[in-house]
Structure 1
Amino acid sequence: MLEAARTTPTALWNDSSDLSELKQSIAFGGVGATCNPVIAYSTIKKHLDVWRPRIEAIAAANPTWGESQIGWQAVRDMSVEAAALLKPIFDEHNGRNGRLSVQTDPRFHRDAKALADQAVEFHGLADNIVVKIPATKVGIEAIEDATYRGVSINVTVSFSVPQAVQAGEAIERGLVRREAEGHDVSRMGPVVTLMVGRIDDWLKHVVARDKLFVDPSALEWAGVAAIKRAYEVFQARGLRSRVLSAAFRNVLQWSELIGGDLVVSPPFKWQEIINASGYDVVEKINEPVHEHYLEELNRIPDFRKLYEVDGMTIEEFEDFGPTRKTLRQFLEADADLDALVRDILIPAP
């Protein structure tokens, strides 16, 4: 992974803002980090020896705050500390890398203005913050608005080429509007995530649910096929945001993307596996997915929806199966963080 980071344009970001993991990821060649509500909650829960006294201190300093406000302040604090680790990289790369992702509150998913306003707030936490907004119809509106207001966006809850392209176009509109008013956008660093592993997860669920007879090996290639297609479209249209591969499930979701001017964001455990493997780095971004796999995948209606540029309308994004599933998971993580704060402040008798 270090060799790929040094010898190709493919950037490595860590899929966590856990400080100990991030430090090691930087040693592996990592130049950024992503996070989401599930990861933030898991990190706080994993390191309660650190976060319990900090949450107690936040509550003591803000006696009128509720559980959600306290929990989200802990997430802000975690993000600022992780961003500081990446700041030298941010300066070296002139804003293109060295960024720490902070996700907007999933409870705002129906309110474009609330998403954009919170994105602006998070943007102000540190120079090198990139803010996650979901690729729904409401989210696309917020993405353009926040970009126009100077926020570097990391598009999330994204599982299809149509979502990625619509989000990339929204970012481009925001950048153009900003430039038209004389603002410099050269240090902005937007990325558009495809949650490639969750694409695979969803299609495996659909195949089992609908009792489809499909070569199971093809299901390991669905996310790779989608992100390669999105990358081709971004390059052809000259979109300035980079595609980002996240939600890893297999090593193909890194090895098949090497050489692309994009970002790979594996969990730290995958970085350890890859670095210990002795794998010879080979550029594969321009190698097409084998036709047999595409033929098998095209037998699945949801794959055709997610693979074709016009496979879904923007109105259909929020009802797409993996979108609904992931939004629910993120909302549940918010509730879990509330409960964790509650247990710290009001222990059960």
Structure 2
Amino acid sequence: MSEYLGKLHETAIRFPDTDIWMDSCGEEELNYGLERGIVGATSNPIIVGSVIKNELATWEPRICALIDENPEADEDEIAWKLIDEIGALRSKKLLPIFREFQGKKGRLSIQTNAKYYRNTGKMVKQALHLNSLGENMQIKMPACEAGIAAMEEVTYQGVSINATVSFTVAQAVCVAEAVERGLKRRKAEGLPVDQMAPICTIMIGRTDDWMKEYIKKTGIVIEPEALEWAGVAVMKEAYRIFRERGYATRLLTAANRNQYHWSEFIGGDLAQTINYSWHKRLNACQVEVKDRIHDPVKEEYLQELNRLEEFHKAFDEKGMRPCEFETYGAFQATLDTFIAGYDDLCRLIRGYMIYPLPAPEPSLTKAAAATQAEAQLKTRQQI
């Protein structure tokens, strides 16, 4: 019998610089991951919505209690109280790792309101609040012009950031430079930086998604397999630059779409956040766990990808200016998804506000009560 509980567990043990995270703050997901060597986790309103639905017996009573305890609060206020509470609670599962690695690992990334993407001040204010929820929080903000300015400021104030809604080398370099400026300001005032752990995500699967959408829109025909390597190429280029320049910020891969999004980065000094479904798939796969971080993307794939203007924007360090980040197709699509996910969470809470739970019927069996609760949830989701 193997000493490893799957391929990701083997990666975590054999390549400790290649951090494996769970792209969820669900209890089942975190327990599964912690048994297999994860050293970080992520949260956002979409994830929180999934956690509530998967753990309804736990969170439905708490939603109702929050509504009762805050009679003048609207659905947005209740949503953020819930996001705060789940984030603070689940971050505790990672505290032993956080303390063992003195802040460099064991963090829960929690996201500011995606609707604030144009407002630096609002992001800074919320980031400081979210950071206060636990000693091992890491605050996610979008890699757009306003978000990058916010990252510099909160880094100066001692917050470890995680840049999100990020798909390109240009975004990653701008994030890293902003963090360097924030750290320089802290050091100039004698403030500690040794336990800070800034991260920049590149959502490589969504980079691939956008290239595929782009060729649909333009009618360009290219080698299909090349499209599976766009995000890998972008990430490897960003990794090369980060290593050459010695940035304090580490890179994080996200949004897995194929096994390359894990296997091609084994051996790198970076992190990978992987959702529960892909954890299970990769743990059960037959791909060899070996160092591939310095393996180049095949030249034939790069030649195909270089025919796409949108790939140049993603791959070239100067492919876009910060003022252009929020007009990039992958940014627009992902931001829209994040905001829609937040709206879904608010709609779920609205259902409990407008249609309070009826008192349980003593005569119902547990099975009947569960069926009734499921039907009520479906009704609330349709509001």
TM-score range, shorter chain: over 0.9
Q: Which of 164, 168, 171 is 1:160 aligned to?
A: 168
Tell me which residue corresponds to 1:267: 275
Residue type matched to 1:22 in 2?
A: L
The answer to whether the aligner puts 1:199 opposite 2:179 as a matched pair is no
Deviates more, 1:40-49 or 1:338-347: 40-49
Aligned counterparts, 1:121-270, within 5 A: 121-270=129-278
- Quote how far apart the aligned CAs of 1:42 are: 2.1
CA contact (8 A) 2:12 2:37 kept: yes
Aligned partner of residue 22 in structure 2, secondary structure? coil
Q: Which of 99, 104, 108 is 1:96 aligned to?
A: 104
CA contact (8 A) 2:46 2:345 kept: no
Residue type matched to 2:290 in 1?
A: V
Deviates more, 1:156-165 or 1:277-286: 277-286
Tell me which residue corresponds to 1:337: 345
Aligned counterparts, 1:312-323, within 5 A: 312-323=320-331
Structure possessing the higher radius of gyration over alpha carbons: 2
Q: Which of 44, 48, 56 is 1:48 aligned to?
A: 56
Tell me which residue corresponds to 1:69: 77
Q: Which of 10, 18, 24 is 1:3 aligned to?
A: 10
Deviation string 1:121-175 (CA, Å, 9 cap, x unpaired) is 1111000000000000010100101111110000000010000110111011111
Cα separation, 1, equivalents of 2:144 and 2:236: 21
- Quote how far apart the aligned CAs of 1:72 are: 1.2
Identity of aligned residues (%): 43
- Quote how far apart the aligned CAs of 1:345 are: 1.8
Tell me which residue corresponds to 2:292: 284
CA RMSD, 1 decimal:
1.2
When normalised by structure 2's length, the TM-score is 0.89
Residue type matched to 1:264 in 2?
A: Q
Return 5+ residue gaps in structure 1 as ranges: none
Cα separation, 1, equivalents of 2:235 and 2:52: 31
* Number of matched pairs: 349
Residue type matched to 1:34 in 2?
A: T
Cα separation, 1, equivalents of 2:53 and 2:326: 30
- Quote how far apart the aligned CAs of 1:80 are: 1.0
When normalised by structure 1's length, the TM-score is 0.98
Residue type matched to 1:7 in 2?
A: R
- Quote how far apart the aligned CAs of 1:7 are: 1.7
Residue type matched to 1:31 in 2?
A: V
The answer to whether the aligner puts 1:328 opposite 2:336 as a matched pair is yes
Tell me which residue corresponds to 2:92: 84
Deviates more, 1:38-47 or 1:226-235: 38-47
Tell me which residue corresponds to 2:319: 311
Q: Which of 282, 289, 298 is 2:306 aligned to?
A: 298
Deviation string 1:80-120 (CA, Å, 9 cap, x unpaired) is 11100000000011111100011001121111011011111
- Quote how far apart the aligned CAs of 1:38 are: 1.7
Cα separation, 2, equivalents of 1:154 and 1:181: 23
- Quote how far apart the aligned CAs of 1:281 are: 1.1
Cα separation, 2, equivalents of 1:273 and 1:204: 23
Residue type matched to 1:59 in 2?
A: I
Cα separation, 1, equivalents of 2:282 and 2:342: 32
- Quote how far apart the aligned CAs of 1:278 are: 4.0
Aligned partner of residue 85 in structure 2, secondary structure? helix
Aligned partner of residue 229 in structure 1, secondary structure? helix
Deviation string 1:259-316 (CA, Å, 9 cap, x unpaired) is 0000011101111112222432110001111101111001111001110000001110
Deviates more, 1:279-288 or 1:242-251: 279-288
